[in-house]
Amino acid sequence: MVNVRKLLENSNITAAWPGLAARLRFDEPMRLHTTFKIGGPADCFAEPENSSELVALLDFAREAGVPVSVIGGGSNLLVADRGIRGLVVSLARLCGVERVESGDSVSVSGKPLPSLNEQSVIVRSGAGASMEALVAWCADRGIAGLERFAGLPGSVGGAAYMNARCYERSVSDVFFLAEVLCFRDGRYRIEEKAYIQADWDYKKSPFQKRNGVDQARIDETADILLSVSFRLSLGDVESIRSQMAAYVKDRECKGHFRFPSAGSMFKNNHAFGKPSGKIIDDSGLRGFRVGDAQVAPWHGNIVINAGNATAAEVKALVDEVRARVRALTGFELEPEVIMAGDWE
């Protein structure tokens, strides 16, 4: 097993990036960084404050042969009880939000972007900002378009990566462009990715290009989201806040915040004719339990940590739900929660 601590101590990180080195945490419990409140230790946990620190970490890992996992808010993440080997990079400190003047972002690499009308407002957010913080920031300034994401846990980068969908609105409906860190010609560089409709679909984005079962693990082909810009519009502050409050209340009434969870466990498939939660309910699985992992008694598509659930219990429950639904209906439920770490 790679000794990440020793490799870091022998690297130039401490000397060249003392602030970053001081923030490194070893054997960090990942349950502190997921909404499931589940997960074993990460060998090393890092929170870079900017893209330069991120590149320094990635260069170290590439040269030392250390595996890297990148996470956002941890709201769609189930980490194995054995934890995550190698380096875990959280983007939580990349959290600045700003309004961009229309004239500042009309082209990418010399290619014109979709035209902006007079009502358009471009807001750029760091990938590590929480969706809750971004929505509140916009509301305070009378910027409309993100109200339906009020109360959505997780980060901006995670929402874009998953193409999060709330109350019939997807991130792709308001996505303008993203800054991504990518590996090209032997080095990391920042590129901008504009919205291209063909790249997006239900719970699908152009950033989901990671190989293997563990979608948190990256390789040199991965694009790492640094910031996301949204095409929004001006609106009335009170109206925006009223809509936000209504969506948050609806989430509360549906029990989204009663127990630790990752929200919806399975994607909806329109070909099935009904939502996944309804299919699970009709299969008699509402309230089904494996240890302290449980299908929520009030919603078939929410799996909760009802006490001290382990990742193994959640995985066993998910596998059993899928198997029973398949046997009863022939439908193959597709999990949307990323299962990361050492499951061997």
CA atoms of 93 and 111, how far apart (whole Å)? 31
Pairing of strands 77-79, 338-340: parallel
Residue type at 338?
I
Task: Using alpha carbons only, give the angle 86, 87, 88 rounded to the nearest 5 degrees.
Answer: 125
3-state secondary structure of 273: coil
Here the tokens at position 50 are: 């900017």
Q: 10: Cβ–Cβ under 8 A, 6 or more apart, which residues? A: none
Pairing of strands 77-79, 111-112: unpaired
3-state secondary structure of 176: strand
The set of catalytic residues is 264, 336
Which CA distances in Å does 268 have to 292, 326, 333? 25, 15, 8
Length of the chain: 344
Task: Using alpha carbons only, give the angle 104, 121, 71 rounded to the nearest 5 degrees.
Answer: 85
* Contacts of 313-322 spanning 24+ positions with Cβ under 8 A: 314/36, 314/38, 314/78, 314/290, 315/78, 315/339, 315/343, 316/290, 316/291, 317/288, 317/289, 317/290, 317/293, 318/265, 320/288, 320/290, 321/280, 321/283, 321/285, 321/288, 321/295
